[in-house]
Chains A and B, each alone.
Chain A
Amino acid sequence: MNARLTTTLIKKDLTLFVRDRFYFLITVIGLILYVVIYWIMPANVDEELEIALFIPEQQQSGTFLDTEHGIKVTMFSTEDALQEAIKQSKYSAGVVIPEDFLSLIATGQKPRVTLYFSPQSSEELREAIKAMISRAAFMTSGIEDKIELKTEIIGNDMIGRQIPLRDRFIPLLLIAILGTEVLSLASLISTELTQNTVSAILATPVKLSHLLSAKAIMGMTMAFCQTVLFMLIIRGFSHEPLAVFMSLLLGSTLITGLGFLVAAMARDMMGVTSWGMIMFVIFVIPAIGTLFPGLISDWAKVLPSYHLIDAVSKLVSYHASFAEIKGDYFIMLGWSAVSTTAGVLTLRRRYR
């Protein structure tokens, strides 16, 4: 790769990016807006306590609301359904009362009450539920320690790590930044194709590889710098900064390939916008899953952005270690390679 030629092309692309008022403004305003959105979101958790309850003898189902104590109890008809609801984080806790609860208490035996908790439930909540059940047993039998409590966490136990709303927004805001960059890069390439300036450039000593390298470096740098800046402002590098850097770098590589693909597929600016929006919607789905746990099914894991969002979310919100997210890195690396290769190949066809 000829560094002089590539550097000249990057400088040219930067000049054109800055002079494209639309993309320059939405990049700058977008970045400011995303930071503002983050800071105005609540930093603490204040949720209504939702409990799932299964009593085998009770066939009724429905929801009972204790508005005075902020507790909502939903009756389930099977234990499996209750477990699934907890798994999907729809409830903070699930309580399964055994079929022979009353008879065991009456005969002086200890019935076993199973408590299910979602990974996001706090330690305080778990203790409160345990105390509540013990209290109910005491009120029924008049004797302390009359029941055996079995506790199960469905999913990874992330006790004490419930996520404030603004932290749940981080993946979504990152995807918004990266999505804007996909459009910006695709627009830059598409303009070069539609105005045929690419023919003039390729009629000089510049090779197609120089041109594509310059665009890739430009796209990656723009996306990486913006995401790093955003994470710096929101103090997103406080835990495992290198791992966060790595995630952002892989995310930037991924979107560069997608930017190439969008540019190759689009015939004009309308095409760039249309294809770009489709990509953006697909990318944003896993981020919505972080915002509203339980909303997105497992199929979202096949989306290219899932592992970026998963890695960032685990690092920033759950303070995961590098080892815990290395699986995400491998898959992101694979997606980046696929998107970049597909983007380069399709663009090569367009340039020729």
Chain B
Amino acid sequence: MNQHAIMVNNLRYRYGNLVAVDNISFQVNTQEILGFLGPNGAGKSTTVKLLTGQLRLQEGQVTILGRDITRELKKIQSEMGICFEQPNLYEQMTAMENLELFARLFNVKNFDGYSLLKKVGLEGKEKEKVVNYSKGMKQRLMVARALVNSPRILFLDEPTSGLDPVSAESIRNLILKERERGATVFLTTHDMWEADKLCNRVAFINQGKIVAIDTPHNLKQAYGQRLLVAEVVRNGNLEKRTIILDQPDTARMVQELFRNERVITVHSQEATLEDIFIQITGRRLTE
């Protein structure tokens, strides 16, 4: 079995004169969750569209599950589940009808829509027309639809966007279960905390190029700074003091802090993926 579920080589895509994806190469291992992070317009959605066959390749090669996407797209798509960024459900149909339609298209035998809807917290709502669903409910149904064919590759474009914290957490748990089942997950998200928690590796994409790709831990090691953040009281006011750890004079600075200030709280702080993204690209993810 090929270790790489997705292999991308020298992928480039232009919309007229605008280069949306600029010569990117990466691999996603089987049963891995790869987080694809970048601000709006960085090339995330174009990459997803190219990998899922929604856009035709202009330059480069894409191999998914050992098959060339230009030659065996339909075979690949039969093993793929996609949760689109914007809800694109049949709104005049019920949730169950939506799922059953896709189950028939994927030729799923003995399809159990109820248990799938239960997984995403939509039990009891299966006979309601989607047009009456809230944004969060539609998002959960989109995730359920992506799982109809028990895909080997799962593309999730902002799957927790617009969800309340409890629903978002249930979707994250579902993604982890899918990985345990054997699925490979390609996840795009703006939520750094989510990426940190879920992803085996993350790729930072900026202006169509992958500027970094590694595990969150390695990225933090390579680019991030560990900090000691203390709250102190001075002249009756609460103030914050920050000391960079792992520096030659860190020990002296900590001693001075405790000697000279009235310290109320103290805790260590790791760099976030957002901090690292800013450090690498000079841009914020939520721009």
Contacts and interface: CB of A to CB of B under 8 A. Distances in A.
Interface string B72-99: 0010011010101010111111000100
B84 A200 contact: yes
A112 interface: no
B92 A19 contact: yes
B78 A196 contact: no
Interface in B68-125: 74, 77-78, 80, 82, 84, 86, 88-93, 97, 101-102, 104-107
Return the 7 tightest CB-CB contacts between A and B, nearest first. Answer: A19-B92, A196-B88, A204-B105, A8-B104, A205-B78, A197-B88, A203-B82
Given A195-B88, A203-B77, A352 B145 contact: no
A207 interface: yes
B93 A8 contact: no
Interface string B244-266: 00000000000000000000000
A199 B88 contact: yes
B131 to A, nearest CB: 10
Contacts of A201: 105
A193 to B, nearest CB: 11
A202 B54 CA distance: 8
Given A12-B101, A196-B86, A203 B53 contact: yes
Interface of A: 4-5, 8, 12, 15-16, 19-20, 195-197, 199-207, 352
Contacts, number: 58
B276 to A, nearest CB: 32
Given A4-B107, A8-B105, A12-B90, A352 B56 contact: yes
Given A203-B54, A207-B74, A197 B106 contact: no
Q: Secondary structure of the B side of the interface?
A: loop
Interface band, chain B? 20 to 34
B92 A16 contact: yes
A322 B91 CA distance: 47
A195 B91 contact: yes
Contacts of B89: 197, 200
A202 to B, nearest CB: 7
B52 interface: yes
B102 A204 contact: yes
Given A204-B77, A205-B74, 6 more contacts: A12-B93, A203-B54, A203-B80, A206-B105, A207-B74, A352-B56
